[in-house]
Structure 1
C-alpha cells in the first residue's frame, strides 16, 4: 500500500509523456511564430533605417521584458509580452544587419551566419530530442558562463577591445549551444513544463548564436 501511494505521488509530480510532448510542440510552434515576427520587425527596422537603442537603455528594456515575461508566463499577458520582446529584438537586429550588408561580402556573411545557426539549432535540438539525455549537468556551466559573459560585455562596452569582443563571440557560441541542449533536454525529460519560458530561452540562445557567428565570420573575413 505504501509503495502504491509513493508511485501515485511520483506519477502526479512527474509530467506524463503526453504533457511533455505537448510542451515540446507548443514551444516549437511559438518559437517559429516569434522568429517569424522578429524577421518582420527586423526587415521593417532595416527599411526604415532605424537607429540602435543606446546600450544601457537596451539592457534595461531587455531585462525588464524578461522579468515581465517570467512574472506572467502562466497567462495570456506572458504570451503578449513574448511577442513584444521578440519584436523588440528584431528591431534591434535591423541596424546590425544594415551595417553588415553595407560592407564587402556582407550579404554572404549574413546568409552564412543564418545557415550555420539553423544547422546548429536543428542538430542540437534533434540530438536532445532523439537521445532524451539529461543535460542538467550543464546548468552550473551555463550559470557561470552567463555571469562571465555579462561582465565581459560590460568591459567590452567600456574599453572597446577587439580581442575581447572576439573572445565574447566564441563564448556566446558555446553558451548558446549549451543552453539549447539543456533547455530542450529539460522539455523532453519533464523538467520544463512552461512553453513560454522554454520559447524565450531558446529564442535568446538562437539570437545570440546568430549574432556571435556573424561577428566571428566578420572577424575572419577582415583584411
Structure 2
C-alpha cells in the first residue's frame, strides 16, 4: 500500500513538474515572439539593411551558445530575449523585401497564418495524443544539418532550385521539430523551459521564413 502511495505521489509530482515546464515555455515563447515582432517592426520602420549571412550566423550561434551556457540562471532569460530580438532584426529587412513585391502583403500574411496553423495543430496533436516522438531526434538532427549545409551551398553557388528544395525540407523538418520538442516536454525529456522555448522559437522562425520563400517564389511564377 505504501509503495502504491509513493508511486502515485511520484507520478503526481512528475505531472506537476511537466505542467510547470509547459506553462513557462508557452508564456516565454509568447513574450519572445512578441518581442521579435517588435524588433522586426523597428527594423522595417528604420529601413535597416540585412546584416548579411556571416554576421547573422555569428550572432545566432553566439547568442545560442550563451543561452545554453546560462540556461539555469536569470541571465539565460536575458540571452533568450537578446537572441529572439536579434532574429527579429534580421527578419525585418526580409519582410520588407517581400512587401515590396506584387501581392507581397498577401504573401506575408499567408506565410504568417500558415505558420500559426501548423504550430497550433502539431503542438495540439502532441499534447492531446501524448505520443512519444523521441524516435525522431536522430533523424531531425541529421536532416537539419544536411538542409543547413545545402542551404549554404544554394547561397554560395546561387542555385534557385536547390534553395526552394531546402525551404521545403525546412518546412517538414521544423514541423517534425515542433512535434519532437512538445513531446519531449510532456514526457520529461526537456525540463528546462528556456531551452524548450528557444527550440520552439527557432522552429517557428524557420517555418515562417521557409513558407515565405516558397510562397514568394510560386507567387512570382504565376
> TM-score of the superposition, structure 2-length normalised?
0.94
Counterpart of 1:205 in structure 2 is: 203
Counterpart of 2:40 in structure 1 is: 42
Q: Distance in 2 between matches of 1:76 and 1:160?
A: 42
Q: Structure 2 matches for 1:98-177, cutoff 5 A?
A: 98-177=96-175
Q: CA RMSD in A?
A: 1.8
Mark the CA change 1:217 to 1:195 in structure 2 (over 3 Å): closer, same or farther: same
Deviation at 1:150, TM superposition (A): 1.6
Instruction: Flag as ranges the 4+ runs of structure 1 deviating above 6 A.
Output: 11-15
Q: Distance in 1 between matches of 2:138 and 2:91?
A: 29
Deviation at 1:86, TM superposition (A): 0.3
Deviation at 1:15, TM superposition (A): 6.3
Counterpart of 1:188 in structure 2 is: 186
Q: Distance in 2 between matches of 1:158 and 1:36?
A: 33
Q: Runs of 5+ in structure 2 lacking a partner?
A: none
Q: Distance in 1 between matches of 2:79 and 2:100?
A: 32
Task: Please tell me whether the aligned partners of residues 15 and 190 of structure 1 are also in contact (alpha carbons under 8 angstroms).
Answer: no
Counterpart of 1:25 in structure 2 is: 23
Q: Runs of 5+ in structure 1 lacking a partner?
A: none
Q: Distance in 1 between matches of 2:49 and 2:92?
A: 9
Q: What is the total number of aligned residue pairs between the two structures?
A: 218
Task: Please tell me whether the aligned partners of residues 155 and 163 of structure 2 are also in contact (alpha carbons under 8 angstroms).
Answer: no
